[in-house]
Amino acid sequence: TRLPSSFLDTGWLAGLPRRMFGASTPDDPGALGSTAQVDLPKLPVPDLNETMARYIETIRPITTSHQLEVTKNHIQAFCSADGPGPKIQEELKKRQKTMDNWAYDWWTRDMYYNILLCLPINVSPGMVFTPRKFESYTDIANLAARLVHLAVRHKEKLDRYALPCERAASREKGQPLCMSQYYRVFSSYRQPGIPYDQLITTKTSTEHIVVSCSNQFYVLFLKIKDTYLTEEQLSAQFAFILT
């Protein structure tokens, strides 16, 4: 039985981002490669003295008066003409001229790749579906088919670089936002390494998925002669795996 078209609007799937499953065309304004994406401003290098002033205000509530004064003395030495601060600031400005985002590599390495704990919960948010009662294997197969079918539609959209460009809603309202991280979905994995992990992104076609069921792994092909399986065909494949 085909799941009703209103399925996404009811029950536990209602919380999923609707834009994940929407349709689009390569001509969408703001798609990757358009003027809105290419002309994004580079990440600026904040003024050194302003950065240090904000740092002092940030640590003020969590330090004693003595600790704060010691920190201010260190900052004063750091920012002096003979200190390392101005030299580092100039190096950052040079780096900023040659990169779209001078902080990206450092930030992702420190926030993600250096952390060896499981990413969901410890670093990144995770999504857990609410409990759902299934009456039969057919119900499970239908739901799995719906999710895969929608994921494939979204992957096709990514392959066309067809996501509309998002824009800032608060600060610098209307400013186009970088969309590159969206296009790493379904095509990236984290490769373990020393001294830190790496994110590997490849441009791949969506030909098959791997299904884990009852301690077994199955290859489920998504295409027949360059045509994607329908939702009903996917459901039949899942039912075969389940039984």
Predicted pLDDT at 37:
54
**pLDDT average, residue stretch 83-98:** 96
**pLDDT average, residue stretch 73-101:** 95
Residue 20 has pLDDT above 80, yes or no: no
Tell me whether residue 3 is in a domain. Answer: no
Q: Where are the beta strands (DSSP E) in the chain?
A: 188-191, 198-201, 208-213, 216-221, 223-224, 227-228
Tell me whether residue 95 is in a domain. Answer: no
Would the pTM count as exceeding 0.85? no
Q: Provide the pLDDT confidence category of residue 95 given band limits of 50, 70 and 90.
A: very high
Tell me whether residue 151 is in a domain. Answer: yes
pLDDT digits (tens, 9 = 90+) for 140-199: 999 999 999 999 999 988 888 888 888 888 878 888 888 888 888 888 888 988 888 998
Domain span holding position 202: 134-242
Lowest mean pLDDT: which of 184-188, 228-232, 236-240?
184-188
Tell me whether residue 218 is in a domain. Answer: yes
**pLDDT average, residue stretch 230-239:** 96
Contact 186, 148 (CB under 8 A): no
Residue 213 has pLDDT above 60, yes or no: yes
Tell me whether residue 191 is in a domain. Answer: yes
Residue 87 has pLDDT above 90, yes or no: yes
Tell me whether residue 96 is in a domain. Answer: no
pLDDT digits (tens, 9 = 90+) for 24-77: 333 333 334 443 355 788 889 999 999 999 999 999 999 999 999 999 999 999
Q: Return all residues near 147 (Cβ < 8 A) that are at least 6 apart.
A: none
Query: For 186, left (φ over 0), alpha (ψ -120 to 50), or beta?
Result: left
Residue 219 has pLDDT above 70, yes or no: yes
Closest CA to 196 of 131, 113, 104, 82: 113
Domain count, the chain: 1
What are residue 120's DSSP bridge partners?
A: 124
